[in-house]
Amino acid sequence: MGDILAFTLVWILVSALGEIGIQSLIHHGVYYYTATTQALDGEAAFAFIITVLTPVFAFIVVMIGYDMIRFRSREPGMRPSPRQFYNNKVFVSIWILVSIALNLLFFVHPTASAVEQMFNSEKERYNRHDLIINVTARQWQWLFDYPQYNITQAQDANGNSILYLPVDRTVRFVLRSYDPMHMYDPYAGVIHSFWIPAFGVKQDIIPGETRYMYVHTNKVTSYNVDPMVRVQCAEVCGPGHPFMEAPVHVVSNVDFMNWIKQQQKLQAGQS
């Protein structure tokens, strides 16, 4: 009984210290940098999971450490124990029930609740005037089209692909793989992955498929502010994979419309 009491006190102390550290981490931000509501939702989900699991992790660590110290052999020579196996049915039953309960909890929240929230939010957006951006992935380049503004292959002054987004607006990315002959042949290209680290979500781009990704920007920022604000391929796609990136700029609505006008003039001069 003394060992159980001592172990419980140590476990509570380590769990409390762990929770203090975890809450400090959550306060400063679990993710490195966030710029969308989706990233904040993902951060909240991770914070919930790690908060619940901290006492579980502390239990395992304290048990291993306590057993190593308390029940270590104090004799110079090692003798085989007269009892090689010991089974505590109460402990095993409690451990199994707690494990099942935790798995069911995480299945309901944040997994199932997040999926439901995602589906509901996308369904509501069908009647909204979201910004639509066609994203085309090719070895090893990103192409961005703004069909609502008749802009194809948005570029900077040096002819490099660039992505501009207005702040506080929902963006619908239409993701496709480069298919100039419109063959929709899954063997004609390779798999890429559209990932903006600061946005907290990513989506694979499969040859022959059209996929969608929604984000809602919530911060004026850019690649110049933080390198996490960039499009990066997250699927190994060949020797040029590490360099398959493009800067992202989230700007005010006024600056976005000014940029749109610049792009339209640029394309009018090229045509």
pLDDT digits (tens, 9 = 90+) for 197-256: 999 999 999 988 899 999 999 999 999 999 999 999 999 988 999 999 999 999 999 999
Give whole-number Cα distances, 216 to 42, 49, 131, 168, in Å.
13, 24, 10, 6
Q: How confident is the model at residue 148 (pLDDT cuts 50, 70, 90)?
A: very high
- Sign of the CA dihedral 103, 108, 109, 113? positive
Structure tokens at 19: 């929770």
* 187 has a pLDDT exceeding 70: no
Residue 183 has pLDDT above 60, yes or no: no
Higher pLDDT, 189 or 193: 193
Buried-exposed string 97-127: b where 16+ CB fall within 10 A, e elsewhere: eeeeeeeeebeeebeeeeeeeeeeeeeeeee
Closest by CA to 59, choosing from 124, 15, 106, is 15
pLDDT at 91: 87
Residue 182 has pLDDT above 80, yes or no: no
User: For residues 247 and 225, what is the distance between their CA atoms, to the nearest angstrom?
Assistant: 11
Between 129 and 131, name the one with better pLDDT: 131
Q: How many percent of the chain have pLDDT more than 90?
A: 61
Per-residue pLDDT for 124 more than 70?
no
- The residue written with tokens 């400090």 in the block is 24
pLDDT at 188 > cutoff 80:
no
Average pLDDT, the chain: 88
User: Distance between CA 73 and CA 17 in Å, rounded?
Assistant: 30
Of 7-11, 18-22, 128-132, the least confident: 128-132
pLDDT > 70 fraction of the chain, expressed in percent and rounded: 92
Per-residue confidence (pLDDT) for residue 186, from 0 to 100: 57
Dihedrals φ, ψ of 73, to 5°?
-75, 130
Rounded Cα distance, 261 and 251, in Å = 14
Handedness of CA 137, 242, 44, 9 (dihedral sign): positive
Tell me the CB-side half-sphere exposure of residue 180, using CA atoms within 13 A. Answer: 3
pLDDT tens string 36-64: 999 998 899 999 999 999 999 999 999 99
Higher pLDDT, 237 or 118: 237
Only one residue has tokens 């900077």, namely: 156
